Structure 1
């Protein structure tokens, strides 16, 4: 058992030998403190009758409002529809995106021709590096009533007239989920491929000796080997159920599909930056953060019970 004196000595030794690393770490720590922790005093606005004209000092001097911003939030007729849209897009996106990305990574790992595998990876990774302004604008053009998608659908006689993909709320969730999957498919597979690379190759050799084909090796060796990584990604997906990709939604959103495209993030932008209701926007952000924390803890607890793996 290590004594307290030995622990102090070990810490001091590590500090001296890793001084260069600690010096390089401090700028990042200071930036995190400056931009992540310092602004948190602004959360007081959620509990006060704050007006922008008061300035920063108004955050501390304005009177308490007895949770009026939270009451106003839950009584707002737009609140439950935008929660439905937020959860619907994220939940369906996770149910579709995680299995498809996992399947793509598994199939990509089975490609034995290096040049072809590299080509597929490059093509699927490329959209990740495009901004949503460019990528979303491209799909707005493709899904237009005069776009190539409608032209092909009518040429193949699936429909008699063009479809309003971005003008009909019924199609928005599908468009949002589909475009997000196409953009992040290759990038999302990187984590699975990295986890697959860490699996002991002797397990594949033993399975092959026992007569297991590629599919059985994939099911009985690869998937169990990457299960911890898969569960971590599922936990992150569950904890992020109230967070949408703001840029994606904002680019694809218009007045015609607002019924299905108004999510929490776009609503916060609308009332916070466009209408200058900073206190109300802060209350929404704080509420979302509390529920996200509960989702994270719940998903982690369930994961540890079912698979014995979790974040903490």
Structure 2
């Protein structure tokens, strides 16, 4: 009996040893590691308090929620709050179309800009010039959207610098800030100006890890600067680009709540309403808490599905993606 039981016991024993090995690797190996674990605690607590615990509030998507009686006493409404989605409410459809259009524009025109900037910065020979340009590009990221929108209004508004200059030259003025036709272009340009420089950090870090011997070997083979970029630099960024693109798809239906809300009154809801502002306008402003929660819940589920799908596609092309399956 002992000899018969040994083969079946070996896999279980190996599994237990593997689990012990994983736990051993997770344990702090020194006081320095323990200090790092303590530094993680505030971030974990903040993540739980402001991200995971509030997820329980999604239950109001299935209730006729009334704030003055609370979640525990609000009557259940089933899927009634989802009617705006399933039955195609006009306001919701406008918000959905605007969101998808802005998402497509930002993926096509905004996402590649940090890559191009990182390649340009990496080509600079002078470290002093490179640091100065980086500081200039990083600065807008630390400005709030209130400040940035105010700056654009001072430059491109009806009485802004551009129109004052055109008036001084006896030329026709341009209504850029209040023109619905220019709204998506305006939003995209603001995003590029604010966050493109900050987005270069990860790409510059990845470029610093590229082996310089690869460039020397390609130069000896007669490769031009463009060929070196195409065959050496860009392949080294492929994994990072795919990872960031997957994460961007997960956040695809969030296209700048505060930025758009600050400029809605100038262009109207038809051209500026997106899903995030739809949730705010119908929930916080309109008091339709259940409908707003239902739209937000569906948006979150779609984001999860996009991440899972894009990650699976990345695995099919041999990339790790966000996580390994």
Length-normalised TM-score, structure 1: 0.89
Give the aligned partner of residue 151 of structure 2.
Answer: 138
SS in 1 for 2:279: helix
Encode CA deviations 1:65-124: one digit per residue, 9 max, x unaligned. Answer: 120000134432101111111111121011011222211211111010122212211111
**How far, CA to CA, are the matches of 2:20 and 2:77 in structure 1?**
49
Give the aligned partner of residue 55 of structure 2.
Answer: 40
**How far, CA to CA, are the matches of 2:272 and 2:69 in structure 1?**
33
**How far, CA to CA, are the matches of 1:156 and 1:241 in structure 2?**
43
SS in 1 for 2:314: helix
Encode CA deviations 1:9-68: one digit per residue, 9 max, x unaligned. Answer: 77358536354443443343333223322222211110112211212xxx2333321200
1:1-312 alignment to 2 at 5 Å? 4-5=16-17, 7-8=19-20, 11=23, 15=27, 17=29, 18-55=33-70, 59-74=71-86, 75-151=88-164, 160-306=171-317, 308-312=319-323
CA change 1:182–1:276 in 2 (3 A) is: same
**How far, CA to CA, are the matches of 2:276 and 2:119 in structure 1?**
34
**How far, CA to CA, are the matches of 2:186 and 2:243 in structure 1?**
27
**How far, CA to CA, are the matches of 1:10 and 1:256 in structure 2?**
56
Looking at CA atoms only, which structure, 1 or 2, has the larger radius of gyration?
2
CA change 1:20–1:138 in 2 (3 A) is: closer
SS in 1 for 2:64: coil
For structure 1, the 5+ residue unaligned runs are none
**How far, CA to CA, are the matches of 1:13 and 1:220 in structure 2?**
38
Runs of 4+ in 1 over 6 A off after TM superposition: 153-157
**How far, CA to CA, are the matches of 2:174 and 2:25 in structure 1?**
68
**How far, CA to CA, are the matches of 1:20 and 1:124 in structure 2?**
34
Give the aligned partner of residue 8 of structure 2.
Answer: none
Q: What is the total number of aligned residue pairs between the two structures? A: 307
Deviation (angstroms), 1:5: 4.9
> 8 Å contact 2:207–2:236 — kept in the other structure?
yes
> 8 Å contact 1:140–1:252 — kept in the other structure?
no
CA change 1:307–1:101 in 2 (3 A) is: farther
**How far, CA to CA, are the matches of 1:90 and 1:101 in structure 2?**
17
